[in-house]
Amino acid sequence: MLQVLANRTYRHLFLAQVIALVGTGLATVALGLLAYDLAGADAGAVLGTALAIKMVAYVGVAPVAAAFAEKLPRRTMLVCLDLVRAGVAILLPLVTEVWQVYVLIFVLQSASAGFTPTFQATIPDVLPDEKEYTRALSLSRLAYDLESVVSPMLAAALLTVISFHDLFAGTVVGFLCSAALVISVTLPSPKVTERRGIYDRTTRGLRIYLATPRLRGLLALNLAVAAASAMVIVNTVVLVQADFGLSQRATALALAAFGAGSMTAALFLPRMLDKLPDRTAMILGAGLLVAGLFAGSTVFSYGVLLPLWFVLGLGYSLAQTPSGRLLRRSAHAEDRPALFAAQFALSHACWLVTYPLAGWLGAEMGLTPTFIVLGIVAAAAVGAASLLWPASDPDEIEHVHDDLVPSHPHLVDAVAVTRGWRHRHAFVIDSHHATWPR
């Protein structure tokens, strides 16, 4: 897996991702402490609102940011967004009112909503070989999982010698280092071949996404992933500390079991995808999530919870990590930022639904019914994915054009038929292919 780090450009981008993730993790811990400093017992409400603002920014801003990304070189855009995020991190320790936190969080997360899809869309151009790209996806998954473990530990160690306000300095350093690493390499910026209006640029990724069968299946799998991960993230503390009467350390260990499962899947996923189609691996992972949610309704002890969370982590990584391969296959290079932005927005829209659902059901009905309801949601999503994403999903598809003139360059290898011109090539939704062939 580590062979892909021999590519200098990718190595610098991966280091930029890791450093920025650690900085973001420090900011997450510091933000919780800042909320308590400003709001005391109402800190939970402040953090809940901040997380809702984050999701709204992710869902609403990502497609718009992708539309404007066409006008800027990718390296310029990524560096500018890192600098915006660093600027917000500088300001956060200075706030004195809760509303100021909300404004700065919206700006910070809006910058992240522009940065992350553009960053993700750049990697397939840096690593055009599919095997290398698959290994890069697994490394990225490992980076996210390790960050969730390392950042809180690092923050705890730092808080023994500095105040929580100073943790934001680590965030600033992380974003500045990320910007420096991006500047140090030359990034491909595929040019759009035709002029497009702002509406077309804003909605293009979403239109490509919803017109592509494998991506409609991916959207359903996003819902299954969101149902399971929301249960873990929202209700682990309730299960461990309220139901089992254990400590905060036990809660952290349970979350670590989920992360360990995810990292384990990420380690063996490249070899698995060499032998299995993406569809099989992802539906298998989502099936594990469904089984784990239903099994969760019978959890009676902490000793049972830990392996269950490990299995959910396995399913989470299996179902989610290969999504970049699907997006890469489903668009031309110039359309990938828009398509990755659509995936970013739609996947977070699923979490925007399942987070409050997991919290509300847990509080009103108890955790056993919550497991069952979210299991039903995930099972329905997996069923929908199986129907929406055909088992036969070739890259090259034979199709007929009846809306292009015979001299059009796109028809250079086409054969005349009764209703137009027929040819075969790697098929994606674009200006010449507005709908998927039947």
For each successive 10 residues of the chain (438 residues), what is the average pLDDT?
82 89 79 76 69 82 76 85 92 87 88 85 85 84 72 71 82 92 84 63 86 96 94 86 82 84 88 91 96 93 94 94 91 85 89 87 89 97 96 88 84 85 89 85
Task: Identify whether 61 is part of a domain.
Answer: yes
Co-location of 96 and 54 in the same domain: yes
Q: Check whether residue 171 and residue 128 sit in a common domain.
A: yes
Residues 51 and 91 in one domain: yes
196 falls within a domain: no
Task: Note whether 230 and 299 are same-domain residues.
Answer: yes
Residues 303 and 421 in one domain: no
Residue 100 lies in a domain: yes
**Separation of alpha carbons 131 and 247, rounded Å:** 43
Q: Are residues 250 and 386 in the same domain?
A: yes
Do 292 and 378 lie in one domain? The reply is yes
What is residue 239's predicted lDDT score, i.e. its pLDDT? 87
In a domain, 438, yes or no: no
Asked if residue 286 belongs to a domain, the reply is yes
Closest CA to 328 of 219, 226, 214, 188: 214
417/383 same-domain check = no
Residues 6+ apart with CB under 8 A from 271: none
CATH code at position 156: 1.20.1250.20
Q: Is the pTM of this model over 0.75?
A: yes
Give pLDDT, residue 405: 84
Q: Domain residues for 213?
A: 205-393
User: What is the model's pLDDT at position 227?
Assistant: 95
Q: What pLDDT is recorded for position 48?
A: 64
**Exposed/middle/buried for 4, CB within 10 Å: 0-12, 13-18, 19+?**
buried
Number of H helices, E strands in the chain: 14, 3
Do 141 and 75 fall into the same domain?
Answer: yes
Residues 389 and 400 placed together within one structural domain of the fold: no
